[in-house]
Amino acid sequence: MSIYKACDIRGVYGEELNEATAEAIGGAIAARVAGRDLVLGADLRPSSSPLKWALVRGLVSGGAQVVDIGVVPTPVLYDAKDRLGTYAAVMVTASHNPPQYNGFKLMFGERPVTPEDVDWIARNAGRPYSRQGGSYRTAEALAPYAEALIHTHGGLTRRRVVADAGNGAMWWLAPMVLGRTGLQVEPLYCLPDGTFPNRHPNPAVAAHLVDLQAASARMGAWGAAYDGDGDRVIFVDERGCVLPADRTFALLVEPALVDQPGARVVYDLKSSQVVPEAVERAGGVPLEERSGHAFIKARMLDEDAAWGGEISGHYFFGELGRDDALYATLMLARLLDERNLSLAEAMQGVPSYPITPDLRLPCAAEVADAILADLDAAFAERPRSHLDGVKVLFPEGWALARRSVTEPVITLRFEARTQAALDEIREKVLAASAALRRLAREAGW
């Protein structure tokens, strides 16, 4: 598969992506920014340093004005872009992917990167560039970011919280900031190691958080687990239960909207129905969007939305103009203080409906397209969404079918208010497509 994805550039280091590729991409980015400045950061992966310096060669040779802020979490990069006023931002990271992967997150102007931006870079990487006037300098970004958070969120009750950095980019920043705002921090995997020796860098998979679950239950502390580059967070309650990001988002967003009647809130289409229900209860306007950081952020900008959330653990804040996992952690701590509740107690007020994870079936692209057409025709009388694939709405729930753009699979997801209703919806969807039934049988459903 290509390293050029819809919203970023990513591949296996040494196989799909190397220093020569990075330098060529740097030249293309420089041409895209046309001599303007950009802020550059990197995560802890062993390949991030060689890729960054190769990228710098291409950027400077192509005429870009590079401001290097070193090894930082991705939210620090976005904060530095605002603070320094640069035109663009580039983060060397593969986010939540395993350590053998790496890549580049991009931002041009005030908008998140688009598929068209990535396609332009793909088409221009490796073309000759000889623009003069490129430059390189460094700048401090961690300290001003940390001090701003501490100033805004200081004075929290000394609750016990386990900060699980997963040996990633939040290794130092998260426990330090959480501690200085008043929390009693118990660090877990807070030594820097970009090979991620203790757990997978994706915290959105509950199976990756067994050590955090055990630590939280043993200490009676709630926990926060960050991904490899520190822009996603998944929470665990004091009993050691992993909390789905959509339910946590519903907990946070409802009280936040009480003083903002009519505020718009963007959420991804894979989220539980508890999210739009919570937004509506608070007098807000829920807006569904396709999954993906860039799509959620672009919709927030277009709608002047107050909040945004993604089931992967991204939390977006209108007042910041971006997502920030550490900011979300502090907002959750503030909410628990205001309600004088444990996280487990606070979550009792958030409904929980039967919902499946993503159910992935190997499937050629043309077969997946035929299945989506089958479902669209079979449920033509029902409300449907086509943001990404086909989402069919039923009185008691919904069904979503999507074709992957990165691998040959079709993904299904179901939710309903009861398990019986979920089973019924699932059977209706399978009955609507002979090709889908065949794939399900082959998968052992």
Helices then strands, counting H and E runs in the chain, come out as 15, 22
Output the pLDDT for position 287.
Answer: 98
Contact (Cβ atoms closer than 8 angstroms) between residue 21 and residue 134: no
Q: Is the dihedral of CA 427, 418, 378, 286 positive or negative?
A: negative
This prediction has a pTM of: 0.95
Please list the active-site residues: 10, 95, 314
Residue 353 has pLDDT above 70, yes or no: yes
Residue 442, CA distances (Å) to 411, 414, 423, 427 in order: 15, 20, 19, 16
Give me the mean pLDDT over the 208-216 stretch.
Answer: 98
Domains 245-347 and 359-442 share a fold: no
At 203, the pLDDT band (50, 70, 90 cuts) reads very high
Residue 359: phi and psi, rounded to 5, are -105, 110
Output the pLDDT for position 7.
Answer: 87
CATH classification code of 9-140: 3.40.120.10
Fold adopted by 359-442: TATA-Binding Protein (3.30.310)
DSSP string, 251-311: HHHHHHTTTSTT-EEEEETTS-THHHHHHHHTT-EEEEE-SSHHHHHHHHHHHT-SEEE-T
For residue 141, which of 197, 83, 191, 188 has the smallest C-alpha distance?
Answer: 83
Rg (CA), the chain: 22
Q: Residue 385 burial by CB count (10 A; 0-12/13-18/19+): exposed, middle or buried?
A: middle
Report pLDDT digits (tens) over 33-74: 999 999 999 999 999 999 999 999 999 999 999 999 999 999
Contact (Cβ atoms closer than 8 angstroms) between residue 201 and residue 228: yes
For residue 272, which of 416, 94, 431 has the smallest C-alpha distance?
Answer: 416
Residue 316 has pLDDT above 80, yes or no: yes
Residue 130 has pLDDT above 80, yes or no: no
Report pLDDT digits (tens) over 166-185: 999 999 999 999 999 999 99
Q: Supply angle C-alpha 375, 379, 385, rounded to 5.
A: 80
Give me the mean pLDDT over the 195-215 stretch.
Answer: 97
Report pLDDT digits (tens) over 74-99: 999 999 999 999 999 999 999 999 99
Residue 129 has pLDDT above 90, yes or no: no
CATH superfamily, domain at 144-243? Alpha-D-Glucose-1,6-Bisphosphate, subunit A, domain 3 (3.40.120.10)
Instruction: Provide the residue type at 371 as one letter.
Output: I
What token pair was written down for 3? 């390293």
At 406, the pLDDT band (50, 70, 90 cuts) reads low
Instruction: Provide the residue type at 250 as one letter.
Output: A
The whole-chain average pLDDT of the chain stands at 96
Between the CA atoms of 366, 371, 372 and 375, what dihedral angle is there, to the nearest 10 degrees? 160
For residue 233, which of 201, 272, 188 has the smallest C-alpha distance?
Answer: 201
Output the pLDDT for position 338.
Answer: 96
For residue 42, which of 32, 55, 29, 30 has the smallest C-alpha distance?
Answer: 55
Residue 443 has pLDDT above 70, yes or no: yes
For the chain, how many residues are written?
445
At 343, the pLDDT band (50, 70, 90 cuts) reads very high
The architecture (CATH level 2) of 245-347 comes to 3-Layer(aba) Sandwich (3.40)
Extents of the domains making up the chain: 9-140, 144-243, 245-347, 359-442
Give me the mean pLDDT over the 115-134 stretch.
Answer: 89
Owner of token pair 């699932």: 426
Output the pLDDT for position 20.
Answer: 97
